[in-house]
Structure 1
Amino acid sequence: MSYAKERIVTAGGSITEIIYALDANDELVGVDMTSTYPQEVKSLPQIGYWKQLSIEGILSLKPSLFIAWQDSEPELIFEQLKNAHVATLRLQRVPNNLPLLLANIKRVANAINRKSQGEQLITLISSQVQSVEKLIQNQAKKPKVLFLFSISGTTQVSGKNTVADSVITLAGGENIATHDFYKNYSTEAIITANPDILLVTSQSLDAIGGKKNLSQFPGIIHTNAWKNNRIVSIDQALILGMGPRIGEAVSSLYNGFYRSPNKED
C-alpha cells in the first residue's frame, strides 16, 4: 500500500534516532542541534535548540509533520504550527525509562506509517535488554557506579531521574548518587562516595587527553575505582539519550561493569 511521503522535522536527538531506526530518514528534512547521530544527520538543516525553537526556521523547511518533546519551548510554537496547518506529534520525555521509550517508538511508527517497523524495533530492543538482564542474574554483587557527567571545571554527577541512572540500572550497576538530576560534587563528596566504577563519556576523556589525566581532578585518585583501574567510558549520545540504541548502551556498560578488575584498557 502506497502513501504520501512526509516532510518530517524533529526536535530531540533521541527522536531523530527513532526516525532513522524506523528507516524513515528519507522523509526527514530538518533536525535540532541535539541530533548528532547517525553521522549523516549533521548534513540536514538545523532548527536550533529544542528549548529555544523558532517558527520561522521550522516553517522554512515546509514540514508536513513536526515531532518534538512535550516540553519543547516556546509553547507558542505549537499554536503557530497548527495555524500553519502543520501536523505535530508531542512525545513525553520523562520519566527517562525503557517503557516510555518503547511507547514513543510505537507512537512515532504509527504516525509515519511504519507500524510494522516499529513493532520489529520494539521487539529487538526488548530482546537486547532482556539478554543483559539474564546475565545480571548470574552476578553476585552489583558494582557501585558514579557517573561524572561533567569533569571540566566543576565535577558534576548524574543522580536519579536521569537517562544515565536508567541505563546504569539496566546494565546491572548501582548508581550511588542519590540526589535528583545533576549536582556538583566536591572533592570530599567524591572521596566519600568511593565508587567501584567511575563512568565518564568518551568525549570527556578525549577533551582532557585520555583516562590517565583523570588523576588531575581532586578526589578521583582516592577512589577504589581509580585504584583498581575501573574507569568505564561510553559515548555521550548513548548514556544521555534514551533512544533506540539503548540495547547497545546497556550491553556496552554491562561488559564494562563486570569485566575483570585487573584487565587493562
Structure 2
Amino acid sequence: MRSVPLHRRLVLSLACALVIAPQATLAQSADAKRIVAIGGTVTEIIYALGEGDRIVAVDTTSSYPAEATQKPNIGYVRQVSAEGVLSQKPDLIIAEAGAGPVDAMNILKASGLTLISIPSPPDTSAIPAKIRAVGEAIGRKDKADELALKVEATLKATAEKTASTTTKKKVLFALSLANGRVMAGGSQSSADAIIRLAGGENAVSSVSGYKPLTDEAVIAAAPDVVLVMSGGAMQMTAEQAFALPALASSPAARNKAFVTMDGLYLLGLGPRAAEAAAELHGKLYPEATKP
C-alpha cells in the first residue's frame, strides 16, 4: 500500500477533527453565544471570522487582536484553571490540542459543557484545515472556507517567493535560556515550519520538538541567525544569548544576527502565518529585499 505523505496526513487529521463530535453537539456549538477560547490561534481565527464578540474569556496566549486581551483570562493554555473557565458560564469551549493540564480538561469534559479540541500540527499546510475546523465548530463554515482559501493562496505565494533563496541561512530558534542551556526548536515544531516557509534552514533539525541543547550541539549547529520571541517571561536579549560560550563563536554572534518577533505571530501558525514568514524572510535576507 502506498504511504500517505506527512503533510497530507496532517491535513486529513484536521479535516476529520470534528467528525468524532456528535452532530447534535456540533449543532449546539454553532449557536453558542458564550465561547471560551483556549489557545491564541483559536482566538485569532474566531476574530478573523468576525465572531469575536461571542468570546467571553481567553487564555494568556491570546494576544491578537488587541481587543482579545481585554477579555477575562483563564490562565496559560497548558495551565488552564477549570474553575476559571466554569465561572464564565460558557456554552462552548474551543481548545487547541495540548491544552491542559489533563485534570482541568477532564473536569471540563465531565461538566457536560461542549468542549471541542482543534488539532494544531506544526505544519503550515495544515493551517487552512485548522481554520475550517474552527469555523465548523462555531457554525461559520462558509466564512471559514473563504478565509481558508485566502490563507492557502498567501501561503503558496510566500513559499514560491522564498523558494528562490539560493544560499539558505541556518537559523537557531531559541525558546528560552535555562541554566545556561538553549531550549531550541527542532524539526516537528512550529518554529521549524515558519523558518522553512521563510526560506531559512533550521540549524538544529536533527532534534525533534523543543529540546534543551548541549553546548556541543549549539557549537555544531553554527547558526547564522538566532531567532527569539519578543515580550513575555522568556524574552531574551542579544547580549544574553551571545554571552553564552557556545554561541559566542557562532557566525550569528560575529555578525550580530539576532531577530526578535512576536510569539503568536511567529509561531501560532494561524491566519497571519504567511505574513510572518514574509517578514522573517526580510529579516533573514535584508540584502535581497532592498529596492
* 2:110 match: 80
Q: For 1:155, what is the secondary structure of its paired residue?
A: strand
Task: Kindly tell me the number of residue pairs found equivalent between the two proteins.
Answer: 255
Q: 1:6 to 1:206 in 2, by over 3 A?
A: closer
CA shift at 1:228, angstroms? 2.9
Instruction: Please point out which of 107, 111, 121 is paired with 2:137.
Output: 111
Provide Cα deviations, 1:51-91, integer angstroms capped at 9, x if missing partner: 34444322221211110134433342343232xxx322211
Does residue 64 in structure 1 map to residue 94 in structure 2?
no
**Does the CA contact (< 8 Å) of 1:12 and 1:34 recur in 2?**
yes
Instruction: Please point out which of 117, 125, 138 is paired with 1:99.
Output: 125
In structure 1, the gaps of 5 or more residues are: none
17-26 vs 30-39, which moves further: 30-39
* 1:245 match: 272
CA shift at 1:148, angstroms? 1.4
Does residue 128 in structure 1 map to residue 154 in structure 2?
yes
Aligned ranges 1:140-179 → 2 under 5 Å: 140-151=166-177, 153=179, 154-177=181-204, 178-179=206-207
Q: 1:149 to 1:206 in 2, by over 3 A?
A: closer
108-117 vs 10-19, which moves further: 108-117
> Residue 167 of structure 1 aligns to which amino acid in structure 2?
I
Partners of 1:157 and 1:196 in 2: how far apart? 15
Partners of 2:31 and 2:219 in 1: how far apart? 58
> Residue 87 of structure 1 aligns to which amino acid in structure 2?
T
Partners of 1:31 and 1:21 in 2: how far apart? 15
Partners of 2:233 and 2:59 in 1: how far apart? 25
**Does the CA contact (< 8 Å) of 2:172 and 2:203 recur in 1?**
yes
Two-structure CA RMSD over aligned residues (Å): 2.6
Q: For 1:90, what is the secondary structure of its paired residue?
A: strand
**Does the CA contact (< 8 Å) of 1:54 and 1:77 recur in 2?**
no
* 2:7 match: none
**Does the CA contact (< 8 Å) of 1:205 and 1:211 recur in 2?**
no
CA shift at 1:212, angstroms? 4.9
Q: 1:29 to 1:169 in 2, by over 3 A?
A: same
Partners of 2:64 and 2:158 in 1: how far apart? 24
26-35 vs 128-137, which moves further: 128-137
Does residue 39 in structure 1 map to residue 69 in structure 2?
no
Q: 1:56 to 1:20 in 2, by over 3 A?
A: same
Partners of 1:239 and 1:105 in 2: how far apart? 17
Provide Cα deviations, 1:139-171, integer angstroms capped at 9, x if missing partner: 222221111111364322111111101111111
CA shift at 1:185, angstroms? 2.6
**Does the CA contact (< 8 Å) of 2:32 and 2:91 recur in 1?**
no
CA shift at 1:5, angstroms? 5.7
> Residue 224 of structure 2 aligns to which amino acid in structure 1?
D
Partners of 2:82 and 2:170 in 1: how far apart? 45
**Does the CA contact (< 8 Å) of 1:150 and 1:204 recur in 2?**
no
**Does the CA contact (< 8 Å) of 2:203 and 2:222 recur in 1?**
no
Provide Cα deviations, 1:194-241, integer angstroms capped at 9, x if missing partner: 112221223389955x53554322232311122234322221222332
Q: 1:115 to 1:250 in 2, by over 3 A?
A: same
In structure 2, the gaps of 5 or more residues are: 1-29
Q: For 1:260, what is the secondary structure of its paired residue?
A: helix
TM-score with structure 1 setting the length: 0.85
* 2:213 match: 185
Does residue 11 in structure 1 map to residue 38 in structure 2?
yes
155-164 vs 38-47, which moves further: 38-47
Instruction: Please point out which of 259, 277, 287 is paired with 1:232.
Output: 259
* 1:203 match: 231
Q: 1:221 to 1:204 in 2, by over 3 A?
A: farther
TM-score with structure 2 setting the length: 0.78
> Residue 231 of structure 2 aligns to which amino acid in structure 1?
Q
